[in-house]
Structure 1
């Protein structure tokens, strides 16, 4: 699956740096998805694994800890979760397409890139900057280890497989994180 594409395998570090490293990986994978000469099918599978693992690890560990530390408010954390759901929905559209050399694929990648890039920018401004200012280095390091462990476990569990992304999107609709169609 994503073995051929390096998703990184951090084990420790400042949680902010680890999240930013993944954000740069997302940007690189999106560039590869736009490149018709790349193995777009392998790239979309790798992107799916990283996107789902990253979002789950943030929602399980990072957002709750930052709320407890009052580094971010409930609104910012909930908005981050909504944007993860929107990213998963856009990702599902990319995964469900059979071919990777069609206009439909290009359009779905464009939507995915717009959704994910919006989230990366907003998260860096409204969640990571306050965490940098309000949370001490020791806590960020502990949180980094928990984030990395969860992220890696989700990747190992093949969390980006299409059936799982479908399940996650259904659950997000049920929870009201996405507009029902």
Structure 2
């Protein structure tokens, strides 16, 4: 049973925050946490952009600009994720700096998405449709994880695709 897409997205957001705490902890398995974060973050973003955002755009009370902005912020998050993944060693001097850049980018996106898109969706999208979207979101996210979406080569590809769209 998947549940309401809004609640599922919010649960992922809280998991990102948990993983940020682990990534900041010198005594933790930071590389393991980074692998989990990369996988969940990319799968989450791709499922939102591929399935959830297009469905929400069909509702009059959902601001198209906010949905587009959400996708732009996913791209910024992927860039910051790649920068941290490329550091590789949690003991390296650049780790903390790149981690904080990632945390800042993701937390900014979570805050905006929760205040705008998700709040609007809670009001505009009927509960049954949110449950249907929840099932679609969970399946799409799982498919992305199975495809290895958290691998550094895939994250590089995402960043490159974004650069080409901007050029």
> TM-score band, normalised by the shorter chain?
over 0.9
- Higher relative helix content: 2
Where does residue 62 of structure 1 map in the other structure? 52
Deviation at 1:103, TM superposition (A): 2.5
Aligned residues: 167
Provide the rounded CA distance (Å) in 2 between the counterparts of 1:98 and 1:51. 17
| Shift of residue 98, structure 1, vs aligned partner | 2.9
1:42 has 2:32 as partner: yes
Structure 1: segments with no counterpart, 5+ residues = 1-10
Deviation beyond 3 Å, 4+ runs, structure 1 = none
1:102 is displaced (CA, Å) by 2.2
The residue that corresponds to 2:69 in the other structure is: 79
Q: Which residue of 2 aligns with 1:146?
A: 136
Shift of 1:118: 0.5
Secondary structure of the structure 1 residue equivalent to 2:149: coil
SS at match of 1:102: coil
1:43 deviates by: 0.8
Which residue is 1:124 aligned to?
Answer: 114
TM-score of the superposed pair, with normalisation by structure 1: 0.90
Cα distance in structure 2, aligned partners of 1:94 and 1:115:
12
Cα deviation 1:93-115 (Å, max 9, x = unaligned)? 01111311123001000000000
Q: Distance in 2 between matches of 1:44 and 1:61?
A: 25
Instruction: Please give the secondary structure, in 1, of the residue aligned with 2:57.
Output: helix
Distance in 1 of aligned mates of 2:31 and 2:101: 17
Flag structure 2 segments of 5+ consecutive residues without an equivalent: none
In the TM superposition, what are the counterparts of 1:4-23 in structure 2 within 5 Å? 11-23=1-13
Answer whether contact 2:61 2:120 (CA < 8 A) is retained: yes
Aligned partners of 2:63 and 2:117 also within 8 Å? no
SS in 2 for 1:175: helix
After TM superposition, the score normalised by the length of structure 2 is: 0.97
Indicate which of 152, 155, 163 corresponds to 1:165. Answer: 155
Which residue in the other structure is 1:7 paired with?
none
1:156, distance to aligned residue in structure 2 (A) = 1.4
